[in-house]
Amino acid sequence: MDFGLTSVVGITVICYLIGMLCKSMPIVPDKAIPAVCGVSGMLLGIAALQLMPDYPAKDVINAMAIGIVSGLAATGVNQLGKQMTAGV
């Protein structure tokens, strides 16, 4: 079964970059960055459903859910990196 992992990872990477861009802008508070990543992931998930034949979702609700989880995973990756370098 082909899961379409590359498309999900692609959404996570794009959301990570969007989060880093928001972090560099003083107008966006740090507390809002996970929400921005989640909404960005949701929109990218819907776009991927329409544009990518190997996307793992077959309907809009699942595409939104996969996108949101991928966007929030970008925030988790950022926090994991912070936690691992904090003890060094």
The percent of residues above 70 in pLDDT, for the chain, comes to 93
Q: Quote the domain boundaries for residue 40.
A: 24-81
Residue 88 within any structural domain of the chain: no
Residue 4 within any structural domain of the chain: no
Residue where the block lists tokens 């077959």: 58
Residue where the block lists tokens 């003083």: 26
Helices (H), the chain: 5-24, 33-51, 60-86
Backbone angles phi, psi at 9, to 5 degrees: -65, -35
CB 19, CB 37: distance < 8 Å: yes
Alpha carbons 52 and 4: distance in angstroms, whole number: 9
The per-residue pLDDT for range 53-70, each reduced to its tens digit, is 888 899 999 999 999 999
Residue 28 within any structural domain of the chain: yes
Total domain count, the chain: 1
Output the pLDDT for position 17: 96
Residue 77 within any structural domain of the chain: yes
Residue 15 within any structural domain of the chain: no
- Asked whether residue 45 carries a pLDDT value surpassing 80, the answer given is yes
